[in-house]
Amino acid sequence: MNTALDVQHLTKHFSAGGARLFARGAKKLHAVDDVSFTLRPGTITALVGESGSGKSTVARMLARLYDPTSGAVLYEGADATKATRRKEILRYRSQVQMIFQDPFGSLNPVKTIAHHIERPLKIHGIVPPGAVTDRVHELLSTVGLVPPDKYAAKYPHELSGGQRQRVAIARALAVEPSVILADEPTSMLDVSIRIGILNLMLALKEERDLAFLYVTHDLASARYVADEMLVMYAGQIVEQGPMEQVLQNPLHPYTRLLLSAVPDPRAGARLEVAPVRRSQYGAVDPVAGCRFVERCPLAISICSERTPELVEARRTQSARCHVTAPGPDV
């Protein structure tokens, strides 16, 4: 099976709070800890978690917007995070693109739509200068904005949220990437519009054999588009596996909690969700032990002592839990 992007042991620590120069023993926020997964062509992988889980940070590291504290992102065998020469970086950027959450914020308010799509074309020399306008129109048509010449001349504030996201997708497609990182692309859109964007993603995946990373907190939309599921909690991957398998038989207690919390009109009685007084920072200077222990209905003594490893408890499905996916030596 070929691989588009191979993420290995990606870690990101931020110094939490304050003093740059004189910090000694400054607190470290473990935004992302030891995350590994693979993105494959023609596959949509959902990265699911609540805010603060680190999922957006992972996407941004893949987009080279943050430098990882450790770990590697392998593209065509080379670690993209270590690239220093402009040529290498530009090559990576022509293959890995990103769509952002806020449809209004991701477009420059004082520039036309054409500008946004022309720039990547010109930077990477995708087409000769004379062909730029035609390619812009082609891309706008691909994402459903027709007639393209009308849209190309508009400014972002003249478009609706859904239309702006389509422009963002067209911009990402301009460089003909093999990987698209979609960071909550529909969470700020109206409900009836989300489906349109999700369908567009599915179509692009099919037609162009793209690899997508779909970051979201909405499990239902993750199920709709994605083939693989990665669940993150407090900076770690706590469960991963094929979508339907994980949804039918979730291993990790957090996954089960998520599933029970999604509004489902067909449901009757529910698990009582016990409120927990959590501090707002995720894992600041975490100690050994499972990070979910305070909220876990299945916690046993070892859960507070030893951090569980990601263990393949069923075929292709792994979880990080001493109880449901115990390691060999437990």
Partner 1 sequence: MTVLDREVVSVPPAVERELLLELRQLVVDYEVPGKRVRAVDHIDLQIHAGEIFGLAGESGCGKSTTGNAILQILREPARVSSGEIRFRGENLLDKSREELRHYRWRNVSMVFQSAMNALNPVLRIGDQFVDMMRAHERISKKRSLVRAGSLLEMVGIDPSRVRSYPHELSGGMRQRVIIAMALALSPELVILDEPTTALDVVVQREILQQFEALKRELDFAVLFITHDLSLLVEFADRIGIMYAGEIVETAAARDLFAEAKHPYTQGLLSSFPPLTGPLVRMTGIPGMPPDLGDPPSGCRFHPRCPHCIPSGGALYSRQLAEKPVLKQVTTGHFVACHLVEPAQ
Partner 2 sequence: MSNLADLELVAPAGAEAEVAALGLGGPRGRFRLPLWARLLLGNWKSRLGIAIFAAIVGCAIFAPLLATNSPSDIVGLPGQPPSREFFFGTTDQGYDVFSQVVWGARQSLAVGALAAILSTTIAVFLGLFAAYRGGLVDDVINLITNIFLVIPTLPLLIVIASFVENRGPVMLVLIIGLTTWAVEARILRGQALSLRSRDFVLAAKVAGESTRRIVFTEIMSNMVSRIAAAFLLVFYISILFEAGLEFLGLADINKTSWGATMYWAQNNSAVLQGEWWHFFFPGAALALSVAALVLINYGIDELSNPRLRRKRARRAGVLRSFFWGGRPALDPPQEAE
Q: Is the peptide bond before 147 cis (omega within 30 degrees of 0)?
A: yes
164 binds, among partner 2, partner 1, none (CB under 5 to 8 A by kind): partner 2
Instruction: In whole angstroms, give the CA distance from residue 59 to residue 252.
Output: 23
Which residue of 221, 240, 318, 324 would you call a contact of partner 1, by CB under 8 A? 221
176 Ramachandran zone, left/alpha/beta (phi>0; psi -120 to 50): left
Give the closest residue to 308 by CA, choosing from 224, 264, 268, 252: 252
Residues 177, 4: Cα–Cα separation, whole Å? 10
Q: For residue 117, what is the DSSP state? A: H
Among 120, 185, 235, 308, binds partner 2 (CB under 8 A): 120
192 binds partner 1 (CB under 8 A): yes
Residue 318, token pair as written in the block: 């792994």
The one of partner 1, partner 2, none whose footprint includes residue 218, by CB under 5 to 8 A per kind, is: partner 1
Per rule CB under 8 A, is residue 103 in the interface with partner 2? yes
Contact with partner 1 (CB under 8 A): which of 23, 89, 262, 300?
262
Residue 109 near partner 1 by CB under 8 A: no
Contacts of 275 (CB under 8 A, 6+ apart): none
CB 320 within 8 A of CB 311: yes
Residue 12 binds what, of partner 1, partner 2, none (CB under 5 to 8 Å, by partner type)?
none
Residue 266, interface with partner 1 (CB under 8 A)?
Answer: yes
The alpha carbon of residue 201 and the mean position of all alpha carbons in its chain are separated, in whole angstroms, by 14
Which residue in 39, 83, 107, 323 binds partner 2 (CB under 8 A)? 107
Written as one string, the DSSP assignment of 80-98 is: GGG--SHHHHHHHHTTEEE
In this chain, which of 76, 190, 206, 285 binds partner 1, going by CB under 8 A? Answer: 190
> Are the CB atoms for 225 and 202 separated by under 8 Å?
yes
The listed partner (partner 2, partner 1, none) that binds 93, CB under 5 to 8 Å by sort, is partner 2
In the complex with partner 2, the residue whose CB is nearer, 54 or 103, is: 103
With H, G, I as helix, E, B as strand and everything else as coil, classify residue 131. helix
Q: Which residues would be at the binding site for partner 1 (CB under 8 A)?
A: 50-51, 160, 162, 190-196, 198-199, 217-221, 223-224, 247-250, 256-273, 275, 277-280
Q: Which residues would be at the binding site for partner 2 (CB under 8 A)?
A: 63-65, 89-90, 93-94, 97-98, 100-111, 119-120, 123-124, 144, 155-164, 166, 168, 171, 175, 188-193, 196
